[in-house]
Amino acid sequence: MTAHDRAPALLTVDLDAVVANWRAITARAPGAEAAAVVKADAYGLGAGPVARALEAAGCRTFFVATIDEGIDLREDLPDSRILVLGGPLPGTAADMAAHGLIPVLNSLEQVGQWVGLARASEQELEAALHLDTGMSRLGLDQAAVADLADNPAMLGGIRTTLVMSHMACADEPEHPKNREQLELFTHATRRLGVAARLSLAASSTVFLGPDYHFDLVRPGAALYGLNPVPGQPNPLTGVVRLEARILQVRDVDSPQTVGYGATHRFTGKTKVAVVAAGYADGLFRSLGNRGFGMIGGVRVPVVGRISMDLTTFDVSAVAPELARPGALIELIGDCHPADELAAEAGTIGYEVLTALGRRYHRTYLGDDA
């Protein structure tokens, strides 16, 4: 048997769909370059395969979160631009430069590290500046921006090629903070006066309109099929299919219960399918008695708690020839997207994708798979 045939659960990633989403975002922001955020192993889907497919399609700028993510990605993308959103941790600037990584500088301390390395190496080093326009997380605050604007020599030795910020409420188009951050970003970049490209838009911000696009947009979740406009039809293509095999089908009846804690008690004759995936595979415990799967086009509910390796479904409404050991229940797919599973779990699609476990047999579809 092949590894696919032996696998208790299957994760399929459609690289052509990832590329199609990148192209759709490129068309949505025609005056800007569309980069790709592939941090957290491309949101759990595999940074190497995803980035290679996007590079083959024409993407030339990639964002990761940490230096080690950048070092790993450099092996797959020897020529593309790779920016590290977290910037250099103390003592890591030289390693970052040695691998051709571009830091996103978030504080005056990081600016000082990068300037110090540039001067010590007697070479101009490329960098991006991250401005905090209201997230109060990473980024140069208004006082730091004022220091840099008043003392341009603080950036001596740095070639600033990008100035960026990040939106807090872009998935709520009417939120007043969107316009507030746009105005703060515009004011701050003018005050800095550096000759650099500007970037404000990640996935949802792209859909706020051209005022937010500037020179470069940075889609992440949208590339992987998550809906960037919650409450509206998803304008992008689904990327992920997750299926788990049925290990056993059993007939139960009242007053039997199922799973840890006996949280579900049967009220009549029920057919239960036990599948080989659980919270160790990224199916959150909060899906117990709340989540759903699909089999044969029929929606089947989770009954009982999610355990580490197993989940139980009520398959009473499914034809017996479909609900049998070895058959597959779809956990994520076109009929049950990651955003829907996330809503059932009380979380967001980002967490669903990044929590996908390592035990799934992974298959990549597409020309560059």
69/157 Cα distance (integer angstroms)? 25
27/273 Cα distance (integer angstroms)? 44
In one letter, which amino acid is 66?
T
**From the CA atom positions of the chain, what is the Rg in Å?**
24
200/165 Cα distance (integer angstroms)? 5
Is the preceding peptide bond at 301 cis, omega within 30 degrees of 0?
A: no
Residue 155 CA: distances (Å) to CA of 144, 147, 239:
12, 11, 41
Within 8 A by CB and 6+ apart from 214, the residues are 32, 197, 198, 199, 200, 201
Q: Quick one: which of 242, 275, 262, 264 has its CA closest to 341?
A: 242
20/28 Cα distance (integer angstroms)? 12
Contact 155, 122 (CB under 8 A): no
Q: Which are the catalytic amino acids?
A: 39, 260
User: In angstroms, how far is CA 61 from the centroid of its own chain?
Assistant: 16
Annotated binding site for substrate: 137, 308
Residue 173 CA: distances (Å) to CA of 95, 170, 179, 186, 224:
40, 6, 10, 19, 21
Contact 64, 84 (CB under 8 A): yes
Q: Quick one: which of 50, 25, 9, 28 has its CA closest to 364?
A: 50
239/234 Cα distance (integer angstroms)? 12
Alpha-helical regions (H) of 315-366: 338-345, 349-354
